[in-house]
Chain A
């Protein structure tokens, strides 16, 4: 285990470095291929609108993958993640332009647990609205 953050140096309330993750239509096509999730709501605007969505939306699992990067970049060792869970509360709407959408993620230590682990609560927003709820990770520190 080579996590670069020491348990003893972390307190409840310690903030993790926040990150912003851009997502365009191209990002979603690439994620569809890598993950095997080819649901057309993630790449076909016509289909998305037919099922009542405002536009193409990002895969929830893509947003989940981005949010945990705030934790894994902090610890340095992604294998130090013991638990990770989210609730998908709102979709990330991705317009068909060069900008796409931005997923903004922040995190802070919410509890110090046993065995050198801490619970980190994550906040993920896009276009000013929360897109994940109950977004929590338990991670083992050095």
Chain B
């Protein structure tokens, strides 16, 4: 079932702030095997010119993907999440995410395509800090594979 094209351009309300914690960054950095002290040691981060530890580049996906849940689970859109795979992912950074950030995400449906029975959904998540400054933009392409013929 093709998704409704009229959802293209729809923007969902900003999420409640996600507060980025030092220990969450440490946990993530260790889970991906990172050893750079800029992720774990505030003094090392200051030597790089950052006010606190920064997060690895892909850390923010956990926040933007949770926000994309508004789109994915929108009953009016009707995406079959059990068939969804992650197609593409891209980030553009205005600055690195850092401990102490309180981040909100605004998700927009950029495109809906249907290709060989697959539904392809492009979602843009704009991540802003507490002062309203853009920190990072995340583009996520989700592909809902065609349902198998019964």
* A69 cross-chain contacts in B, Cβ below 8 A: 32-34
Number of interface residues of B (CB under 8 A): 34
A residues near B, CB below 8 A? 1-2, 21, 27, 30-31, 33-37, 60-62, 64-66, 68-69, 72-73, 76-79, 81-88, 134
> In the complex, are the beta carbons of B57 and A72 less than 8 A apart?
yes
CA distance A69 to B57 in the complex (A): 9
> In the complex, are the beta carbons of A36 and B38 less than 8 A apart?
no
> In the complex, are the beta carbons of A34 and B92 less than 8 A apart?
no
* A86 cross-chain contacts in B, Cβ below 8 A: 88-90
Apart from A72-B56, A85-B89, A87-B87, list 4 A-B contacts with CB within 8 A: A30-B30, A35-B62, A36-B66, A68-B58
Which A residue sits closest to B55, measured CB to CB?
A78
| 5 A-B contact pairs sorted by A residue (CB < 8 Å) | A61-B89, A65-B58, A72-B57, A77-B48, A88-B85
Q: Which of B24-58 contact A (CB under 8 A)?
A: 27-28, 30-34, 36, 38-39, 47-50, 54, 56-58
**Given known A-B contacts A78-B54, A78-B56, A85 and B91 have beta carbons under 8 A apart:** yes
B residues near A, CB below 8 A? 27-28, 30-34, 36, 38-39, 47-50, 54, 56-58, 61-62, 65-66, 85-93, 95-96, 139
> In the complex, are the beta carbons of B86 and A61 less than 8 A apart?
yes
**Given known A-B contacts A72-B36, A83-B93, A88 and B88 have beta carbons under 8 A apart:** yes
* B31 cross-chain contacts in A, Cβ below 8 A: 27, 30-31, 33-35
> In the complex, are the beta carbons of B57 and A81 less than 8 A apart?
yes
* A62 cross-chain contacts in B, Cβ below 8 A: 32
Find the residue from A61, A68, A76 having the highest chain B CB count within 10 A: A61
> In the complex, are the beta carbons of B86 and A88 less than 8 A apart?
yes
CA distance A61 to B62 in the complex (A): 9
> In the complex, are the beta carbons of A65 and B56 less than 8 A apart?
yes
> In the complex, are the beta carbons of B57 and A88 less than 8 A apart?
no
CA distance A78 to B57 in the complex (A): 7
Chain A proximity of B19: nearest CB distance (Å): 15
Which A residue sits closest to B137, measured CB to CB?
A83
> In the complex, are the beta carbons of A66 and B96 less than 8 A apart?
no
> In the complex, are the beta carbons of B91 and A83 less than 8 A apart?
yes
Chain A proximity of B126: nearest CB distance (Å): 15
CA distance A77 to B49 in the complex (A): 10
